[in-house]
Amino acid sequence: MKNKHIRPIPHYTGEEQWLYCEKHQITKFRAVRNKRCKSGFNFYCRECKYHADRQLEEKRSEQRKKVIVEYLGGKCMLCDYDRCYPALDCHHMFAKDKDFNISSEMRKKGAMSTIRSEVDKCALVCKNCHAEIHQKTYDKIEDLLQTWEASKKLRRPEVWDEYLSTV
């Protein structure tokens, strides 16, 4: 293939062209306008860009999960489990107050301010206790409500503020 590394400049942003990628061989490239670049465009292999964006979303989601777990006390309210933060869930105390699913919102850019209002409606429980609550095998729901009310005083807003200042 002759001149495989020469990249023609498209006429407008978003135009896709077949070009050579070191990783994916011949594939579609997308032009994205960039004023700092000599040509005025950056070229991205669609596959490479997709995987890079997914990794960034996963990293952002993981960081935000850590912040939420620390904000809510760092351990299960029912059994004090605290060894693995991915094993902790946010349980909405009152289903009618639930505006959105926290885990799906965490992947979005700049959503932390909206997430905090939703997290304030939740209790931090481990996956086992969470399953028991939803299967209605947890028989101390009144205790859960009292513990949740008491845990509001133990929340750590400085963790949230520190995260927002670094982003």
Per-residue pLDDT of the chain (167 residues; tens, 9 = 90+): 444 454 554 444 455 666 667 776 667 766 666 667 666 666 677 777 778 788 888 888 888 899 889 988 888 888 889 999 999 998 888 878 888 888 777 777 667 778 888 888 888 999 988 888 888 776 666 777 777 777 777 777 777 777 777 76
CB of 78 closer than 8 Å to CB of 146 = no
Q: Which residues are paired to 20 by β-bridges?
A: 26
For residue 83, the model assigns a pLDDT of 92
SS3 116: helix
Q: What region, left, alpha or beta, does residue 37 occupy, with left being phi > 0 and alpha being psi -120 to 50 degrees?
A: beta
Number of H helices, E strands in the chain: 6, 5
For residue 127, the model assigns a pLDDT of 92
For residue 18, the model assigns a pLDDT of 64
For residue 1, the model assigns a pLDDT of 42
User: How far apart, in whole angstroms, are the C-alpha atoms of residue 62 and residue 36?
Assistant: 31
SS3 49: helix
For residue 137, the model assigns a pLDDT of 73
